[in-house]
Structure 1
Amino acid sequence: MINTEQSMHACPACGLLCDDISADAIAKQQFSCGKAAKFYARSTSLNVQPQVNGQAVNLAEAVKAAAALLQQAQSPLIAGSSTDVHGARALVRLANQSGADMTHLNAASTLRNMKVLQHRGWQTTTLTEVRNRADVILMIGTDVVTHNARFFERVVWVDEAMFTEPAARQIIYLGGDKLKTQAGTSPDGRAPQVIACPSEQLPQVVSALRALVMNKPVAGETVAGVAVSTLAALAETLKAAKYATLIWISKDLHYEHAELTIENITETVVALNQKSRAMGLSLGGSDGDTSVNYAHTWLNGVIIDAPNWQDHDAVVWVNSFSPEAMPPAEVSPVIVLGAADSLFTTPPAVFIPVATPGLDTGGQQFRVDGSVTLPLTAAKPSEVPTLAHVVALIEKAIAIEGKAA
């Protein structure tokens, strides 16, 4: 029997991996986070059989059909990759055996960060360090709570911190459209500072802020509608901070060459650290993207890349966390290794239900700041096979077919 008072779960619904979710809260559907509520409300132990071309078959038949499609393909692709560390390791093995490329459904936004890290490097911090040290938090082009709903609850407005007074933290929003800033209001009712500008003009504003932090002149009285005097005051606030934290979410920077904006953010951090202390922090994280990218990089030595769908003649779409996410409609044939509640407009060539980590099977996930991995406990244990098990069966079938040939 589960002890509902002591059993706690790490929630994989976003990159924060909040590890204070009780079994009792799951049973009663009592959450302060809408993403957690949606995740734990899912039913993945449905009586769904594997399918081939929309027709129910047993697992062995589905595995054989998947293996045959992969063997016939000249340039297969493993995509989606919505899974945990164990699933990611299995997918890397399958990719190496089948000669497939591998990507993730969030690869495009992840690459914005990775290009900066590869080209310039960066100085970033962890959620724990922000909780204990940050006195000024600047959110650039994002409200954070859209992606990480409990960020302020878990990190900012905490009861105590080791090196600062949490209630006195200064929260500043820079840029973005229709931001939800209410969470930035302090416990005593102090509203956050909001410096607004359209998202597409954020690159100019961030570039100007970097120049001002570096004590370089900025011509004119405004930049993209923001007064230079306002940006100069912000630069002085960051310089005076004991531990300034500059936060961005790459998914929210969806415009051409957004990596240059991220580079300006991280180089602003470098400039601040010449005379004070500051750190960057990239948040967001969903569908296991942090874990999959780390596992892929460890095992292959390269980061996950974004796909050119037209270059591939078969796709293995892996979808454990987001049952509604599917590859482009024109992609064919598609082998879906997905949650039992996966949603299809058109039945794939092969569908094999797999367990969702943290819901009906255990697992392991990297937190979005990359500093820790946390175990995922099955909230609703089921008999749905794990992704690693299904992949192992497909690998075995490919090996058998290869010997027969």
Structure 2
Amino acid sequence: MINTEQNMHACPACGLLCDDITGDAIAKQQFSCGKAAKFYARKTVAAQPQVNGKPVTLAEAVAAAAALLGQAKAPLIAGSSTDVHGARALVRLANHSGAAMTHLNADSTLRNMKVLQHRGWQTTTLTEVRNRADVILMIGTDVVSHNARFFERVVWVDEAMFTEPGARQIIYLGGDKLKTQAGTAPDGRAPQVIDCAAEQLPQVVSALRALVMNKPVAGTAVAGVEVSTLQALADTLKTAKYATLVWVAKDLHYQHAELTIENITETVVALNQKSRAMGLSLGGSDGDTSVNYAHTWLNGVIIDAPNWQEHDAVVWVNSFSPEAMPPADVAPVIVLGAADSVFSTAPAVFIPVATPGLDTSGQQFRVDGSVTLPLTAAKPSAVATLSQVVALIEETLVNEGKPA
């Protein structure tokens, strides 16, 4: 049964956590976002726990999972597609079992974290962008591929406290085949687009940083972009009242992409010497922001990317994206996943868990890290939560002589 109460739901389909979704909209499948439509169209099937593809009781599945973890010398908790409550439970399980922990988006998250650790950065929030930004530079991304309602919710809003939303200047820099239509102003004014190949973006961003810092750039073009064009962009950023430089780490998928992110954030630092500017990292999916924050708070270190070959057992946690699975050559695999998970090969153990915001309530960090929002069960079900299943596995480990 769908929860059709008119209190608003926060949608966990992407990092924006749009909190204006009504129960009626969910019931009628009326959304302006394809990701929300796909998320709320999911149905909780009557899935049963399995061991090697054969149906078993929950107790039997928990015992099998605990046995595999107990035997493993180097287990890994991966996927980690969950909310704050689930992330805290996974950290406890990692501590109990001696497992390492990672997230399915760890590679792209690390691109940001390396810069934050090494240099620090000056970033803003969605609310500040909505109320203050007059120039928004999208670097190597169209954003809407990840956060479909960014322009609707943040940019082309009805009113803002310190700027005129309809007069904002939108500029796209770099990347191949960017979808720029969302950057068109309500009055029909098209965004400025500065083209360059995605793999050449590092050189272009480095040159832009130099120009913002009033350093000379040799030649008349950088990676096919006229230096005069980049100089004009640098001047626009310098004269803005509140420039915002936006990137999505997932879209910067080339070697040493963290250096490009560092050049973006250091451009912000340079701009703030005489004007005002901020960075904004967007994207966020499968609870990656929440999981990384919870892991960092509780362990003091960020989540790292895995070397799959170093681990002899994998706990794959997947409550938001039922189609996502670990590499095919990884075994044995214990899947604590959504009831509608799809397997090409049956895992060693499968225990269905509730999806926060769909089957059960939860809590999630927004992609800008500024707030946590409650997730309300849109279609409440009796499927066990990840925290409940993890507690059962922990109890079994303790009973078998493997205390925390």
Q: TM-score range by the shorter chain?
A: over 0.9
Which runs of structure 2 are paired with 1:139-154 in the superposition (5 Å)?
139-154=138-153
CA distance in 2, matches of 1:310, 1:178: 36
Structure-2 residue corresponding to 1:69: 68
1:78 paired to 2:77: yes
SS of equivalent residue, structure 1 residue 378: coil
Which runs of structure 2 are paired with 1:5-404 in the superposition (5 Å)?
6-44=6-44, 46-402=45-401
SS of equivalent residue, structure 2 residue 291: helix
What is the identity, as a one-letter code, of the residue corresponding to 1:218? V
Q: 1:4: Cα distance to partner? A: 4.3
Preserved contact between residue 2 and residue 378 of structure 2 (Cα < 8 Å): no
Deviation per CA, 1:288-319: give whole Å up to 9, x if none: 00000000000000000000000000000000
Deviation per CA, 1:243-287: give whole Å up to 9, x if none: 000000000000000000000000000000000000000000000
SS of equivalent residue, structure 1 residue 285: coil
- For structure 1, which runs of at least 5 residues remain unmatched after alignment? none
What is the identity, as a one-letter code, of the residue corresponding to 1:318? V
Q: 1:2: Cα distance to partner? A: 8.3
CA RMSD of aligned residues (A): 1.1
Preserved contact between residue 6 and residue 24 of structure 2 (Cα < 8 Å): no
SS of equivalent residue, structure 1 residue 375: strand
Q: 1:401: Cα distance to partner? A: 1.0
Q: 1:86: Cα distance to partner? A: 0.1
Normalised to the residue count of structure 1, the TM-score between the two structures is 0.98
SS of equivalent residue, structure 1 residue 402: coil
Preserved contact between residue 112 and residue 261 of structure 2 (Cα < 8 Å): yes
CA distance in 2, matches of 1:69, 1:3: 38
SS of equivalent residue, structure 2 residue 143: coil
CA distance in 2, matches of 1:5, 1:273: 46
SS of equivalent residue, structure 2 residue 186: coil
Q: 1:5: Cα distance to partner? A: 6.6
What is the identity, as a one-letter code, of the residue corresponding to 2:16? L
CA distance in 2, matches of 1:298, 1:118: 15
Preserved contact between residue 51 and residue 347 of structure 2 (Cα < 8 Å): yes
CA distance in 1, matches of 2:5, 2:339: 30
4+ runs deviating over 3 angstroms: 1-5
Q: 1:116 to 1:218 in 2, by over 3 A?
A: same
Deviation per CA, 1:219-239: give whole Å up to 9, x if none: 011100000000000000000
Q: 1:398 to 1:89 in 2, by over 3 A?
A: same
Preserved contact between residue 280 and residue 368 of structure 2 (Cα < 8 Å): yes
What is the identity, as a one-letter code, of the residue corresponding to 1:138? L
CA distance in 2, matches of 1:289, 1:403: 29
CA distance in 2, matches of 1:245, 1:377: 32
Q: 1:6: Cα distance to partner? A: 2.7
CA distance in 2, matches of 1:156, 1:185: 10
Normalised to the residue count of structure 2, the TM-score between the two structures is 0.99
Q: 1:126 to 1:315 in 2, by over 3 A?
A: same
CA distance in 1, matches of 2:254, 2:342: 29
SS of equivalent residue, structure 1 residue 14: coil
Q: 1:177: Cα distance to partner? A: 1.0
Q: 1:310 to 1:403 in 2, by over 3 A?
A: closer
CA distance in 1, matches of 2:2, 2:215: 61
